[in-house]
Structure 1
């Protein structure tokens, strides 16, 4: 399976490492910033790096030829419909909530703010609407009392994301397709940025 990875930062790097151990062919890393640590890790591993022309959008030209699957990991860019069409199985991303709950950039912070006793993660199909594509895999974790968003992410949600991504990719390798369960819109909630101006 040939994968184009779109991402950044620490989760991008840990996803890259998981994919390299997973007997898939990582053909390209697409980053919004050529100095990002994912770009450095990809170059060190001999993987082609492409810097997005527009940091908010991934275009079809930026997806490697003959890509089977686009995987996003800590990317805030929208993967265009044309880019998804350039990949045999489209694209998947990890969202650290039980979608459709907490759609948006600050899902973990909203989990804490709302006092949710349970958090979770979802692998979802990339679609036109942010975090609204069909679910490929989902699992949940307990939230510890007094835990911060960062602690919850590092303790439970980042490892869960890697495990679920691996599970979906394994399914795709065996079946040549990915699971897809449509989200139930009646349960959708928004998780916009809690600190305006900061990103």
Structure 2
């Protein structure tokens, strides 16, 4: 399976490492910032790096030829329709909430702010609307009393993201397809950025 990885920062690097140990071929890494640690990890491994022309959008020419699947890991860019069409199976991303709850950039912060007793993570199909694609895998975890968003991410949600992405990629390798369950729009909430 040939994967184009779009991402950044620590979660991008841990996803990069997980994919390399998972028997797939990372054919290209796409980043918004050429100096990002994910770009450095890819270059060190001899994998091609493409820097997005627009940090908010990934277009088809930035996806490697003959890509089977696009995986996003800590990317805040939208993957354009033509880019998704360039990959045989489209694309998946990880969102640190139980979608359709807390769609948006500040999902974990809203989980804490709303006092949710449970949180979770979702691997979902990338779509034209933010965090609205079909669910490929989902799992929940408890939120500890007094836990901060960063603590919840580091303790539970980041490791859960790696586990769920690995499960979906294993499924895709075996079945040459992705699991898909539509999100129930009646339960959708948004999680816009909070003021600093």
Write the distance in 1 (CA, Å) between the matches of 2:46 and 2:157: 29
Corresponding residue SS for 2:43: helix
Write the distance in 2 (CA, Å) between the matches of 1:160 and 1:47: 26
Counterpart position of 2:12 = 12
Write the distance in 1 (CA, Å) between the matches of 2:129 and 2:119: 22
Write the distance in 2 (CA, Å) between the matches of 1:42 and 1:152: 28
Superposition TM-score, scaled by structure 2 size: 0.99
Runs of 4 or more off by more than 6 Å in structure 1? Answer: none
Counterpart position of 1:131 = 131
Write the distance in 1 (CA, Å) between the matches of 2:43 and 2:145: 40
- 2:140 paired with 1:140: yes
Counterpart position of 2:175 = 175
Write the distance in 2 (CA, Å) between the matches of 1:115 and 1:18: 32
Counterpart position of 1:54 = 54
- 2:71 paired with 1:71: yes
Write the distance in 2 (CA, Å) between the matches of 1:80 and 1:190: 21
Counterpart position of 1:157 = 157
| Structure 1 unmatched runs, 5+ | none
Counterpart position of 1:81 = 81
Write the distance in 1 (CA, Å) between the matches of 2:63 and 2:130: 19
> CA offset at residue 132 of structure 1?
0.2
Counterpart position of 1:22 = 22
> CA offset at residue 113 of structure 1?
0.2
RMSD across aligned positions (CA)? 0.5
Write the distance in 1 (CA, Å) between the matches of 2:73 and 2:176: 22
Corresponding residue SS for 1:103: coil
Counterpart position of 1:110 = 110
Corresponding residue SS for 2:53: coil
1:71-118, CA deviations, whole angstroms, 9 ceiling, x for partnerless residues?
A: 000000000000000000000000000000000000000000000000
> CA offset at residue 195 of structure 1?
1.9
| Structure 2 unmatched runs, 5+ | none
* Number of aligned residue pairs: 196
> CA offset at residue 186 of structure 1?
0.2
Corresponding residue SS for 1:167: helix
Write the distance in 2 (CA, Å) between the matches of 1:33 and 1:45: 18
Write the distance in 2 (CA, Å) between the matches of 1:24 and 1:195: 40
- 2:45 paired with 1:45: yes
